[in-house]
Structure 1
């Protein structure tokens, strides 16, 4: 991951320059017309696979910031019709699917507008920064035939796929302790990060990645949480927290911790330092960039997993679930659950109390 840039996400900026590892062409039996609403967040997860999706057409982009569009330097974006208002785009275009990105505040309204038009949605995370918004999205989906996914690409990344396989094999036994970390360089952030109503908080914004990974990789449920968050020094951050910590109780009595910060020095070799450790009744498996995926158990000496599973695309997986009838690797139930957990964990920090995650 690159360093965040002002007004345009690092992922969008890199989307036009990065070359995907050789992956197979995926065909569908019809033309699929998609639109992109907003240029913030994991837009590269949508743009990068387009080179191997010849039946998809990015027909329109809604983004009020000219700088963000210009900075993307992406051929698919340059060919698409441009709108500054997403509502005008939805009124005028004949679409099958909408990718909803942009600032966190207002994302729920954009998702709801797409659902009301019967359009499938793949959205940046979180879907909503308030519980009432999340409830409205869930109810709207129940009333429609629309399918929805959320941009949680870490679940499709080789190291975490490997951790999932290790746990599923039974080698480390039943997981009872999870430790997760996300540490980022602060870089230069767009103005929306600095206001609670448009950012929503660091726990929902980046914590949702690890909440999803902890549940999915371990096979355990998170049932209670207590959180702390602060804006440590750096008054220019405004409402944006740069240090958070959450302790979860697992459904089997174990515990999980998640600590996050924007304190990674600019001199660090990578933008982020993500870590996940799973300790079970028979062993421990963990991942960090410095050491790779490692495992030690009652049946094996400490070892590094050299052969990792192949990288997968969340967007392609979602499309194949829509048009090939395959089960989606990321279920709607998991999406809503992860979003609900991070909002409750944020509530714990704001109200200074333990919360039940039911």
Structure 2
């Protein structure tokens, strides 16, 4: 595997996304949050809209697979109207029914095979979504055509596939990002800044949770060959967030996973626990489940807690962002940075030559970690990272 890269502490560095404000709310509420946080004007700030970057008149985007977080691309059109969805590759008739009902998709040319789309369309960016099992092969095909890629996660379902993707991206020198929008959420960016400032001292323990309602799931998620596991599929969000916010790397991992009840879900685990040793001998834990009751007020319940030698900062949907230090008791943290979208940040890096907030080293490192975490849960062994 590649050189192990720690996520360094850079206070106020570019972003996370999701929590109290979900993806559909973020653009609507982002202005209000920014105004509240620092008493600023409700007008969009430079950090919220890419006015400093001169985009071409049209940015042609192809979407391969209509599952996952492709809404990140659609939401970006509100800030970068030059983005046009030129083509879509999707085999599912059910999913294709969305196309004529979605204003941003209905003018796109539809293909049944992603290879035909790549052969016929001249694209500026391609979004690789869809089911997990095909992603590694599709990314390699896109890299061969030297088209910048925004990919769903995980990039691959095995370490061998991940090495192939890494080699293809490196050889083609093609820009790549991955849909990890939580690190662009103002709350997690603020947590990162607090940790980086030294306010809570040296990071000793991290704890994260992602709990989802099960709802109705597609067939590919019920098959290990096409799903790959709950740890790499949803755990990757929180692993990235712990690395990004906590500023420490992971050295080893152990875990458990299973499906209890819900026999119709077959191979899809509905619970998993993963524990990590930090590079300073501290520890981290991650809880994942698809057990959130349908009566709950939101689809997901994400939590992140960072404990250091001088204090704790944590976020829960119920309590918001709270800080407790050796110098003062529990306090709400309200001075949040402005909102930004992952895909907008990626486009700025392509056309404005800015540095994208999610590096290739971080992308490949977090994929490696979650695949080894799944291996640890499958084998009952402690795996070195």
Residues in 2 aligned to 1:152 and 1:334: alpha-carbon distance in whole angstroms:
11
CA contact (8 A) 2:133 2:228 kept: yes
Match of 1:20 in 2: 27
Residue ranges of structure 2 left out of the alignment (5+ in a row): 1-21, 32-47
Match of 2:241 in 1: 213
Match of 1:227 in 2: 255
The count of corresponding residues between Structure 1 and Structure 2 is 343
Which of 375, 382, 385 is matched with 1:347 structurally? 375
Measured after TM superposition, the shift of residue 18 of structure 1 is 6.5
Runs ≥4 residues deviating over 6 A:
none
Q: TM-score, normalised by structure 2?
A: 0.86
Q: TM-score, normalised by structure 1?
A: 0.93
SS at match of 2:131: coil
Residues in 2 aligned to 1:355 and 1:55: alpha-carbon distance in whole angstroms:
46
Residues in 2 aligned to 1:247 and 1:166: alpha-carbon distance in whole angstroms:
24
Greater displacement, 156-165 / 21-30: 21-30
Greater displacement, 321-330 / 25-34: 25-34
| Deviation per residue, 1:137-176 (Å, 9 max, x gap) | 1111111120100000000012211111110111101111
Residues in 2 aligned to 1:145 and 1:249: alpha-carbon distance in whole angstroms:
33
Residues in 2 aligned to 1:334 and 1:351: alpha-carbon distance in whole angstroms:
26
Match of 1:280 in 2: 308
CA contact (8 A) 1:31 1:57 kept: yes
Mapping for residues 45-124 of structure 1, pairs under 5 Å = 45-71=72-98, 73-124=101-152
CA contact (8 A) 2:50 2:344 kept: no
SS at match of 1:300: coil
CA contact (8 A) 1:162 1:293 kept: no
Match of 1:9 in 2: none
Greater displacement, 47-56 / 161-170: 47-56
Which of 147, 164, 175 is matched with 1:136 structurally? 164
Change (3 A) 1:218 1:306: same
SS at match of 1:20: helix
Higher relative contact order (CA 8 A, sep 6+): 2
